[in-house]
Amino acid sequence: MYSPNFTITNKLLRLIGTIEAAKEVIENSPLVPAWEAKFREEAIVRTVHHGTHIEGNELNKTEAEQVLAGGKIVGRDRDIQEVLNYRNVLKFIEGYDKKEISEETIKHIHELTTHRLLPDEQVGEYRKTQVVVKNSATGEITFRPPPAIEVPFLLRSFLEWLNGTTDDQVHTALKAGITHYEAVRIHPFLDGNGRVARATATLVLFKEGYDIKRFFALEEYYDREPMAYYEALQSVGKAGGNLNVWLEYFIEGLAIELTRIKEKVKGLSTDLKIKKSLGGQQISLSERQIKIIEYIQESGFLQNKSFFELFPMVSEDTVLRELKDLLKKGIVVKEGTTKGARYVLRT
């Protein structure tokens, strides 16, 4: 059976501690439903955009967001299809309710990933030929995956380890990192292996209680410095199969992303004050109201002269109606009565 080669270093312990601390804050912070929905939607857009962009997708983040919202854009059909496909992969992961991850699971993720992008006989099917990974600039072969005939056996052996290993034996974040690497190494399919590997690693996190409200997007970390990502993956082969450099890279990325979200969540401590002032009840905020609160939190106050900066395409009367509702709900208070009046958060 497969057995990963790594050791628990002080750096890994420190980073896992950071992940656990951030997870605790994020999961136990009282956020109104509108905030949670906004964070999840942002995470979906970032995951889909960066998860396809790192593979050469030419759509920018705004275009990807428009595609996900059902809008029409000018772009390559393949790029648009990749974005739609990866959103469907995330939907599958979010709704996954099986105890184990099987070969059928991996194949279905590939099927969703490559829908209408590969010939039907290649979608959701293991490769039957040898492939190599080349440096796009030099043409040099950088990675030679195992022979095609070994793919089913390697995956079964790995999945046996994955499904039979508890969180007490190997921390979930480490299992996700190992899954990511091993799916890349085995390279089960002719195309789409990177997206399948990243999606399966996310599935491991989600399935074992580390979905963390689905607020995070690891793909942005990889896409920010793709060379560092590929070098970390290649480090395992150079180290004779030792996973430590890769795992430290992977765990650090998760720690960075969750810490960023933790700080944003803590910055919304106003929500706790709102709940207390309203007797603990949840309230509904519009997207504009959320943006107003964010602006006041960052700037300290909002004045009429800043309305256009905040909402370039919205009339002053519309913004004033949003503020009037926030005043009525007791979230914002008004200081002064002239055009120079300031709106601040209720303390």
CATH label, 10-267, candidates 1.20.1260.10, 1.20.120.1750, 3.90.1150.10, 1.10.3290.10: 1.10.3290.10
**Confidence band (pLDDT; 50, 70, 90) for 38?**
confident
Domain ranges across the chain: 10-267, 270-345
Q: What would the pLDDT profile of 114-173 be if each residue is shown by its tens digit?
A: 999 999 999 999 999 999 988 776 878 888 999 999 999 999 999 999 999 999 999 999
Q: What is the mean pLDDT of residues 88-117?
A: 97
Q: For residues 296 and 284, which has the higher predicted lDDT (pLDDT)?
A: 296
| Lookup: tokens for 160 | 């046996």
pLDDT for the residue 283: 64
Q: What would the pLDDT profile of 223-237 be if each residue is shown by its tens digit?
A: 999 999 999 999 999
According to the CATH classification, is domain 270-345 in 1.20.1440.130?
no
Give the span between the Cα atoms of 69 and 82, in whole angstroms.
Answer: 15
pTM: 0.80
